[in-house]
Amino acid sequence: MWLLSTDRAELRYFSRNFDADGGYAILSHTWEGSEQTFQHVRAIGERCRLAGTNPRDDPELSPKIRECCILAERYGYDWAWVDSCCIDKSSSSELSEALNSMYRWYSDAEVCYAYLADVPDGCVLDAPNSPFRKSRWHTRGWTLQELIAPAFLVFLSQEWHELGDRGSLANLLQQITRIPALIFTRETRPADYSVAVRMHWASRRKTAREEDEAYCLMGLFGVSLPTNYGEGEKAFLRLQYEIMRNIPDTSIFAFGYKVPHSELDQQGFALKPDPRARLTSRSQCLLAFSPRQFNIEASYTPERGANIRGAQPGGDQIADTSPFGAVELPRISVTSNEVELRLPVVDIDGISVAVLLCEDADGHLGLLLTRDPRAIDSTRPRYYTGIESRRSDSGPGNRVRLATLGRDLNHLRFNGKRIEAKWRTIYIVPSPPEWLSPGSTNAQLTINCTSGSPFRLPHWLVSRFVALQFRVWEDIRTPEFVRMTIMRTRRAERIWLDLGQCQRDTGAPPRHWSKVTISHESNYMRHTTVSQSHTCSEHHIDSWPAWSKDFGDADRTVRLSFTPCKRSPETTRVVHIELFGRVYAEMLLEANVSFPSPDGRHKGMQLVQT
């Protein structure tokens, strides 16, 4: 562990963190642009050593590092740790060790200084919409463990003045972060809460790197992972596998769209079990691809009231005699290509329901399952998760994953009917195959595969839609027509991009045409109702000013632009897309993604992630 001497800001290595006499202070902060690295600080230290000056006073040293050292020294600490410069990130082994040790390093620190660069002196912390409430520090992934792990944490303003400590601000922090105040006063610990509850704490936080969604949670669950930047969302899958191996808590499966236990037709929709179901979506798999999916604070029923805290509705504890025919506990086993679960299961109305033995504020939760008809081994019943739903008002359906089964474990109900589940061993597909992963989207598109194609859709544009959690695929109707479907399950967002060649002028070269149709939960359309035809006066590209046209409204606007392909300018048009409007602006900001104008592409116009 590298530490900074607080009197000189010089780096020194300790093989064990407790070897630093007097302990150390540790800094929590959000990165602002280019932070000073290990190599920068070492270089400043070496230059000052030769010049006989103090590196802490050097004008090239980061003010953040300097002020942290000054503050720590003022309160009697000889050593301080700052993540930006106390990890040699040029060493992959050192970086991996640091990421796996970070929760313990924050826990072992004598004090943690949480520097809030966007909160001024004099801030009324609990005022509505105060800078403290809105601080970026509360929204970052890594600061979650930095908030929870230290024994003593002090919040500092942008001027490095004390705002208050975590214990005295526990109730306000609970309002801001949705984490129980008891955590901040150390009356409870993270292990006292279910997996789903802890994931829920992280569900609204953001990280600069996709892999950090997993790495920043290792300490919160007490697990370790080899780090591998470049693996993308596979890191979060690996985190869940490691959690399943160490924590027998089925609330890890409690996320997604949920229906009540009353009759579904009274709620305006029906479930549609499909005996010929195929794996076509990540939503059919057991494991989540991001902590953002954990929308439910579910507690683990077998240990409710003992070690696990969380959403705990009223009702009796589990009786000595099980309502499922035998007294057992759920079991989770990871196999080569499935997750083996031992759970109470019932088949009703053509649907299999696994009782997760988890509960939220509405009652016990059931996981809806679809049997895989293509499973080769009949002795191992294999399932996908979720059932497609249909709205009676012709509105958008959802893939329903969970159902509320009522509050009484001895009298569970589904779709208005009493159910009696029995213990069974089932096998569930944990994650999608490679061809369903977001990274394989471009590899599946054929629109760019031939030089004679009338249209080309750049891969970088497709990748940005994927970063917005859209799926992109093509439906080629004829050699002269392609429909691109761009779909985001959340809010039932859909963009249909039609690309075609008009042959109506006999004897003349075909004319390129295009149009966009936008659908969402408030204006839902099924793909079969969207016409494949076009209006020549509206949709011919060469009739648009600058070959550009807007489609949509103030909430959602898609701007299509076209340019001649450099390889075949006479016959091929290159598609460019921009997104505008309130709803799309929120998506872009949340994902830190932008769609530059055609003229702005060479400038690398995109949001800066820090």
Does 328 or 375 have the greater pLDDT score? Answer: 328
Tell me the C-alpha to C-alpha distance, in Å, between residue 490 and each of 97, 152, 386, 493, 516. Answer: 37, 39, 15, 7, 20
- Report the run of H or E that residue 400 belongs to, with start and end: strand 399-400
CB 88 within 8 A of CB 38: yes
- pLDDT exceeds 90 at position 378: no
Counting other chains too, the contacts that 223-227 makes at CB distance below 8 Å and 24 or more residues apart are 224/100, 225/100, 226/96, 227/92, 227/95, 227/96, 227/99, 227/100
**573-589 per-position pLDDT tens digit:** 999 999 999 999 999 98
Provide CB contacts within 8 A for 177, sequence distance 6+: 138, 147, 201
Does 487 or 67 have the greater pLDDT score? Answer: 67
- pLDDT exceeds 80 at position 543: yes
Of 173-177, 277-281, 530-534, least confident by mean pLDDT is 277-281
Provide CB contacts within 8 A for 128, sequence distance 6+: none
CB 103 within 8 A of CB 18: no
**488-504 per-position pLDDT tens digit:** 876 678 999 999 999 88
pLDDT band at 282, cuts 50/70/90?
confident
User: How far apart are alpha carbons 169 and 181 in whole angstroms?
Assistant: 9
Burial class (CB in 10 A: 0-12, 13-18, 19+), 457: buried
End-to-end CA distance of the chain: 24
- pLDDT exceeds 60 at position 306: no
Of 135-144, 232-241, 250-259, 485-494, least confident by mean pLDDT is 485-494
Q: Would you state the pLDDT for residue 308? A: 42
| pTM for the model | 0.83
Does 275 or 165 have the greater pLDDT score? Answer: 165
By DSSP bridging, strand 471-478 and strand 455-456 are: unpaired
Other C-beta atoms lying within 10 Å of the C-beta of residue 58 = 16
Q: Would you state the pLDDT for residue 380? A: 87
Provide CB contacts within 8 A for 235, sequence distance 6+: 210, 211, 213, 214, 215, 225, 227, 228
User: What is the 8-class DSSP label of residue 36?
Assistant: P
Residue 464, SS3? Answer: helix
User: How far apart are alpha carbons 371 and 389 in whole angstroms?
Assistant: 16
Q: Would you state the pLDDT for residue 311? A: 38
Q: What is the mean pLDDT of the chain?
A: 89
Tell me the C-alpha to C-alpha distance, in Å, between residue 107 and each of 8, 104, 153. Answer: 25, 5, 10
pLDDT band at 512, cuts 50/70/90?
very high
Q: Would you state the pLDDT for residue 292? A: 94
pLDDT band at 527, cuts 50/70/90?
low
Of 173, 404, 437, 377, whose CA–CA distance to 311 is shortest? 404
Residue 6 identity: T
- Quote the tokens at residue 594: 């932008």
Which residue has 């003045």 as its token pair? 161
Q: Would you state the pLDDT for residue 492? A: 77
Angle subtended at Cα 560 by Cα 559 and Cα 564, rounded to the nearest 5 degrees: 145
**148-183 per-position pLDDT tens digit:** 999 999 999 999 999 999 999 999 999 999 999 999
Share of the chain above pLDDT 70, in %: 90
Query: What backbone phi and psi angles, to 5 degrees, belong to 234?
Result: -60, -25
Of 293, 306, 201, 286, whose CA–CA distance to 244 is shortest? 286
Angle subtended at Cα 18 by Cα 17 and Cα 20, rounded to the nearest 5 degrees: 85
- Quote the tokens at residue 333: 């086993």
**417-454 per-position pLDDT tens digit:** 899 999 999 999 999 877 666 666 766 788 888 878 89
Burial class (CB in 10 A: 0-12, 13-18, 19+), 450: exposed
Provide CB contacts within 8 A for 408, sequence distance 6+: 315, 316
pLDDT band at 608, cuts 50/70/90?
very low
| Averaged pLDDT, 103-131 | 97
Of 531, 463, 535, 530, whose CA–CA distance to 494 is shortest? 530
Q: Would you state the pLDDT for residue 609? A: 35
pLDDT band at 307, cuts 50/70/90?
very low
